[in-house]
Chains A and B, each alone.
Chain A
Amino acid sequence: MKILISGGHTRLDYLVDELRSFKHELIVVNSDLQACRTLRKNHRDVTIIHGTPLDLTVLNDAKLRDIDLSIALLNSDKDNFALSMLLKRYFEIPYLMSSVNNPENIAMFEENGVRRILDVPKLLASNIVNAINFKDASIVSPLPKRDITMMEVPVNSDSSFIGSPAKDLKMPEESIITCIVKPDESIIFDMETRLEVEDRLIIVAKPKMKSKIMKSVQGHEIT
């Protein structure tokens, strides 16, 4: 997929790393000269344009006609919105994503064709709340609704089923193990896979089940 990333000062290097690991072709437009230099040093295979993304002459230089996806990461909602409208209507980019700082603006982005929203405060708040609530477990990804979550729970030395097949692990209702992440590979859940210390279980569950899940996997409930 050919992806345009606009802005994104603090998150840019990490995001580029992640997207390149999936072999996406990237064009980055950024007004921060230092960020562009750092990126150019670390990613020779990424097209980097230094300039203001909301400037049509800069975007024309970036040759955007065949871009599949735009990710707008400018500092303000108004800038991300204006940029998304320009990319949608002038460059006809079919798939638009944008970060949104004010959750009240999400509906307007969606109603104007920005199909995926990165609700930054919500993600941050959700991560903090989950860090407080889940302690030993971590949330892998926020799912579309609040009533379901995907969490990663490490198998520790207190777990009673070490060395046993996964079928011996009795999971509580409204929870399911989807994947077992071992130090050297990830395995789609299989009843016969033996669980070891350092394995991490990717579990989809109702959030209310977290205490029971922790008890099943780690032998103790979280408070």
Chain B
Amino acid sequence: MFAENKKKFKHAIVIGNSKMVSELATTLSTINEYVTLIDNDKDYLKSLPSSYLGNTLVGDPLEYTVLDSADAKRADIIFVLSSDDAKNIFIAHMAKTYFNIERVVIHLEDDNLAHTLENTGIDYVSPTGIEKQSFMQFVESEGEDDENTH
């Protein structure tokens, strides 16, 4: 479903080391011309599913030369999804400052750190925020149910 409806990017870069990241990269690789997944764990990159059609690059994405090797200047979107918020913030700014990547999306565990991204054009996804919102919706709907009952 994702593949059918979503916009195609010429060159997507994905950074991170988790099951969710490898699944995202795999999906992106089926709909985009060029996808590069970067991580400094060689074994993780080797363990990607066979359905992953993109490239891999072993290296520390905190380093300019690694992003440059991934051809970041040609990238039109980058997903920075490590579990380290400060690392994601740093790489995102590097992507904007040096490589002028149009869409930069990062993972933030602590959504309070979203203030670091104000007026930068960097987007973020916060599982904490999403979970909090979901639970609050649950609480609110419970409240509505109670009102309906009474």
**Residues on A close to B: CB < 8 A?**
54-57, 76-79, 81-83, 85-86, 89-90, 104, 108, 111-112
Q: How many residues of B contact A (CB 8 A)?
A: 21
Does B8 lie at the interface of the complex (its beta carbon under 8 Å from any beta carbon of A)? no
Which one of A57, A82, A104, A111 contacts B97 once the chains associate, using CB atoms below 8 Å? A111
**What are 21 residue pairs bridging A and B, where the CB atoms are less than 8 Å apart in the complex?**
A54-B86, A55-B110, A57-B112, A76-B86, A77-B62, A77-B90, A78-B84, A78-B87, A78-B89, A81-B90, A81-B93, A82-B85, A82-B90, A83-B86, A85-B93, A86-B115, A86-B116, A89-B119, A90-B115, A104-B63, A108-B93
Task: Give the distance in Å from the alpha carbon of A82 to the alpha carbon of B108 in the complex.
Answer: 12
Which one of A77, A82, A108 contacts B113 once the chains associate, using CB atoms below 8 Å? A82
Interface residues of chain B: helix, strand, loop or mixed (majority) = helix
- How many whole Å from A212's CB to the nearest CB in chain B? 41
Chain A residue contacts of B118, Cβ below 8 A: 89-90
Q: Are B97 and A108 in contact (CB under 8 A)?
A: yes
Given A108-B97, A112-B97, A82:B115 Cβ within 8 A: no
Q: Are A78 and B62 in contact (CB under 8 A)?
A: yes
- How many whole Å from A57's CB to the nearest CB in chain B? 8
Chain A residue contacts of B52, Cβ below 8 A: none
Task: Give the distance in Å from the alpha carbon of A82 to the alpha carbon of B94 in the complex.
Answer: 12
